[in-house]
Amino acid sequence: MDTAPPKTEPTEPTAADIAAFKEQLGRPPRGLRAIAHRCPCGQPDVVETAPRLEDGTPFPTLYYLTCPRAASAIGTLEANGVMKEMTERLATDPELAAAYRAAHEDYIRRRDAIEVLEGFPSAGGMPDRVKCLHVLVGHSLAAGPGVNPLGDEAIAMLPEWWKKGPCVSPCADTDQHASEGDAK
């Protein structure tokens, strides 16, 4: 990637954000607390969720990637073995392992500031392995560069998913958007 998307400040979700989320994931948000990061196109691409859903179910994934274009590109990285390679490097690179442990601690600290989920792991396989690049990328986008080294690496491998414009257009004509979606 030529440039990483810039860090954005978390914001309260608007009605338009919730509509975009529904279109991105095909379901209403659960436990939505904030828009943790916005894509350069302006749409939400990472949301912050509550540590517990409305029904009390623990939900330890604090940062949830919602942009379908970014998610698809990350899925390609996962299918190409990037997670396995990263996990192997954690076992042989003490500096990387220490930085990844610090990312895990950051994730837990941020989640615990909302509600402590005693005994629940952070997410994405942290701190010992890489289980989900979507979580690591979400953490990197929400927290900013330098917090999660493997999330930052994954972002650097991604295409600029926002270049084609917004992944969803909640205010646009549904038939027009469906045609555009077929072309993606």
Residue among 8, 7, 32 at smallest CA distance from 19: 32
Give me the residues paired with residue 174 across strands. none
Query: Residue 27 domain-assigned?
Result: yes
pLDDT tens digits along 72-92: 999 999 999 999 999 999 999
Query: Containing domain of residue 86, as a range?
Result: 15-172
Mean pLDDT (the chain) is 90
User: Does 10 fall in a domain?
Assistant: no
Is pTM beyond 0.85 here?
yes
Whether 7 maps to a domain, the answer reads no
**How far apart are alpha carbons 168 and 154 in whole angstroms?**
23
Looking at the 3D structure of the chain, how many domains does it have?
1
**Where does the pLDDT of residue 170 fall: very low under 50, low under 70, confident under 90, or very high at 90 and above?**
low
43: closest CA among 170, 155, 156?
A: 170
pLDDT in tens, 105-124: 999 999 999 999 998 989 99
Sheet containing 63-65, strands listed edge to edge, beginning at the edge strand earlier in sequence: 32-38, 44-49, 63-65
pLDDT score, position 1:
56
Q: Is residue 152 part of a domain?
A: yes
List, for residues 119-152, the tens digit of each pLDDT value. Answer: 898 999 999 999 999 999 999 999 999 999 999 9
- CA dist 38 → 59, 118, 127, 162 (Å): 22, 30, 26, 10
pLDDT at 2: 54
58, part of any domain: yes
Q: Which of 4, 19, 156 has the alpha carbon at shortest distance from 82?
A: 156
- At 28-77, the pLDDT tens digits run 999 999 999 999 989 999 999 999 999 999 999 999 999 999 999 999 99
CA distance 137 to 135: 5
